[in-house]
Copies of this chain bind each other. A is one copy, B any other.
């Protein structure tokens, strides 16, 4: 009995098998990550591209139940998302993640894991804008002290220094944001 091949080399997988990508959306709560993720998903799917959205909340339910919002728990959650996104991407899927992922060092680990498939996108809006939107009512609760360790209020958000893309959602429509993302994917030969 042999163990067979246990390694995934680029060459092995290139048997007519195109790589996907990891579109890593990072930004404050309320910056528009999920909205962009869903809009890009719809666009890519209608173009026949395989696509999955790994949303922060959904992934927490399936992969990280019981984890909290300490730095360590956030990191564990974010690295799990990266692990799954990379599994999908190396099989031709565009995996779109939508987790705050506030720490620079942790995002660097995600990039190291995913290699050239990683596209870091800063979904950027001023804190005041995000707080004014307050889609889930979380800022209000954070300001009232009902939520501890809330990114941007009582926990840090470390902006990307050299992301592949910045999308200022306070200045662009969703469609314009999607167009920027699609451009990144087209440059990699992925349909959009």
Contact = CB atoms under 8 A, between A and B. Distances in A.
A106 interface: no
Interface string A7-50: 00000110111000000000000001011001101100110101
Interface in A65-107: 65, 76, 79-80, 83-84, 87-88, 91-93
Nearest to A61: B83
A45 B15 contact: yes
Interface string A148-167: 00000000000000000000
A128 interface: no
A1 interface: yes
Q: How large is the interface on A (under 10, 10 to 19, 20 to 34, 35 or more residues)?
A: 35 or more
A35 B1 contact: yes
Quick one: which of A4, A38, A76 has the most chain B CB within 10 A? A4
Contact of A16 (B48, B76, B79): B48
A91 B83 CA distance: 16
Nearest to A51: B91
Given A63-B80, A80-B62, A52 B87 contact: yes
A174 interface: yes
B15 A48 contact: yes
A50 B80 contact: no
Contact of A42 (B4, B13, B41): B4
A93 B95 CA distance: 14
Contact of A50 (B1, B41, B45, B91): B91
A38 B38 CA distance: 36
B1 A174 contact: yes
Contacts of A39: 1-2, 4
Given A6-B38, A63-B83, 4 more contacts: A1-B174, A4-B38, A5-B42, A50-B92
Closest A-B pairs by Cβ, 5 of them: A4-B38, A4-B42, A15-B48, A62-B83, A1-B35
